[in-house]
Amino acid sequence: MINKTAILLISCPDQRGLVAKFANFIYSNGGNIIHADQHTDFAAGLFLTRIEWQLEGFNLPREFIAPAFNAFAKHHEVFAQPLDAKWELHFSDTVPRIAIWVSRQDHCLFDLIWRQRAKEFIAEIPLIISNHSSLKVVAEQFGIDYKYISITKENKLEQEIQQLELLRQYKIDLVVLAKYMQIVSADFINQFPQVINIHHSFLPAFVGANPYHRAFERGVKIIGATAHYATPDLDAGPIIEQDVVRVSHRDEVDDLVRKGKDLERVVLARAVRSHLQNRVLVYGNRTVVFE
């Protein structure tokens, strides 16, 4: 049983020796690497890596790891040129706090709560935010706070201020838009960028409203769902996970909606799980999902 680990997610311009150098940083401090994966995007000239190692036996106390790695990354004798890395350090025993945002549909909400309780991912879900009051009963059933914040064209910006305040108050690390049928403003995303959305189409097909109706009208033979990080551009953020299901001429819009729900559930759950396990590295508008 591997208990406590540290995880480094690093992206930097590619140069010779990076695999060895990063591994050495861990090893020379007594760390045992249990997962290391890297990817080089040759077109972009970028090296991207995820390294996970056991904290037990590691010589550096956890609060010193970040400064030590920072010093290491700037060490001019180790790296031929300044490393210019973007990196994040995570600890596996940190329990992230999630706010789930919903409208009227409950399938993703139920699914995420079930998975959290089944420990498919480790997180707390202290808060549900909705622009409807209809799912309050679910929140109560599971003992989660439920904040009803109505959204109109007129009040949207001020309501977002209240939403941000709630996220701060509940110390939320990740917002999951679990079929929240409202567009979140660019301003909001800039202030709180850790937002995963589920869109009910195989993006970039059917961006925006009513994707199942439009899929039906177009007569497609497969439908899909896409989990992505929300960005200021609608449905255009970095894709984390997608999946599809076959449909036929017998499927009416209602059938697409029903089949799509099964997709939305698993696609969103896989994306949230990968994110929470610090397996997702965003660069440009793309993701590396380390396995």
Q: Which of 84, 235, 243, 254 is catalytic?
A: 235
Amino acid at 215: A
Residue 17 found at the interface with its own copies (CB under 8 A): yes
Say how far apart CA 215 and CA 259 lie, in whole Å. Answer: 13
From the list 69, 79, 202, 212, which residue makes contact with its own copies (rule: CB under 8 A)? 202
Stretch that binds its own copies, among 79-87, 129-137, 170-178, 212-220 (CB under 8 A): 212-220
Residue 39 found at the interface with its own copies (CB under 8 A): yes
Residue 77 found at the interface with its own copies (CB under 8 A): no
Minimum separation from the CB atom of position 157 to its own copies (A): 30
Stretch that binds its own copies, among 29-37, 89-97, 148-156, 175-183 (CB under 8 A): 29-37
Q: In the structure, how many helices (H) and strands (E) does the chain have? A: 8, 13
Query: Where on the phi/psi map is residue 170: left (φ > 0), alpha (ψ -120 to 50), or beta?
Result: alpha
Give the pair of three-digit tokens for residue 196: 């995963």
Alpha helices in the chain (DSSP H): 18-28, 62-73, 107-117, 136-141, 156-169, 186-191, 211-218, 253-276
Minimum separation from the CB atom of position 186 to its own copies (A): 20
From the list 149, 205, 232, 234, which residue makes contact with its own copies (rule: CB under 8 A)? 205
The phi, psi pair for 171, rounded to 5°, reads 55, 50
Measured from the CB atom, the residue of 120 and 166 that comes closer to its own copies is: 120
Helix (H) or strand (E) holding 5: strand 5-13
From the list 12, 198, 239, 256, which residue makes contact with its own copies (rule: CB under 8 A)? 239
Respond yes or no: is residue 235 known to be catalytic.
Answer: yes
Measured from the CB atom, the residue of 33 and 122 that comes closer to its own copies is: 33
Residue 69 found at the interface with its own copies (CB under 8 A): no
Say how far apart CA 181 and CA 108 lie, in whole Å. Answer: 13
From the list 37, 56, 88, 165, which residue makes contact with its own copies (rule: CB under 8 A)? 37
Size, binding site for its own copies by CB under 8 A: 64
Give the pair of three-digit tokens for residue 27: 């090893």
Residues 70, 229, 290, 94: what is their CA dihedral angle, to the nearest 10 degrees? 60
Residue 204 found at the interface with its own copies (CB under 8 A): yes
Stretch that binds its own copies, among 28-36, 154-162, 172-180, 192-200 (CB under 8 A): 28-36
Cβ contact 4:54 at 8 Å: yes
The phi, psi pair for 124, rounded to 5°, reads -105, 145
Residues at the contact surface with its own copies, assessed by CB under 8 A = 2, 16-21, 23-24, 26-28, 32-43, 107, 110, 114, 118, 120, 141, 202-206, 217-222, 224, 238-244, 246, 248-250, 252, 258, 262, 266, 284-289, 291
Annotated active-site positions, please?
235
